[in-house]
Amino acid sequence: MDLGRIGQQNMQLIHVLMEYFRLEIVNYKFVGIFCDLAKAFDHVNHDILIEKLNYYGVNETSIDWIKSCLHNRRQRVDINVNNVQNYSSPWEIVKQGVPQGLVLRPLLFIIYINDLPRDINHFINVVLFADDTSILITEKNYENLT
């Protein structure tokens, strides 16, 4: 785990949220729900992602290239005990997720969840930042927040 990258990512998210708060804080009360999706990149459904790429107008050549990165990937677990015994699971096909090390990984994830704000009530603001999602509810008085 790269704590420097995590800290930098959190600072960028905090900056975005603080700018939002600065603009709204004079007239509104806030409730914030901050979500950090565990293993978010590993749960991307390939078919849904490809559908969304088509919807957003990504050309067929690019989609075919992305499909080649997603489909027919295999993985297994290897365990080495004291450099004496090795254990390996059988190879399994990976059916979901965006490969680690793929430069487009964060972009593909954002495309995957990009329609989330559209499907939420207009009194609720959603800030998407990689695999961190913040849901901000604003109202003029506290009674309406409950």
pLDDT tops 60 at residue 3: no
Residues 126 and 75 sit within 8 Å (Cβ to Cβ): no
CA-to-CA distance for 118 and 115, rounded, in angstroms? Answer: 5
Q: What is the pTM of this model?
A: 0.63
Residues 42 and 97 sit within 8 Å (Cβ to Cβ): yes
> Which position has the higher pLDDT, 125 or 44?
44
For residue range 48-95, what is the model confidence (pLDDT) as tens digits? 999 999 999 999 999 999 999 898 889 899 998 887 778 999 999 988
Taking 3-state DSSP, the helix, strand and coil percentages for the chain, each rounded to the nearest 5, stand at 45, 25, 30
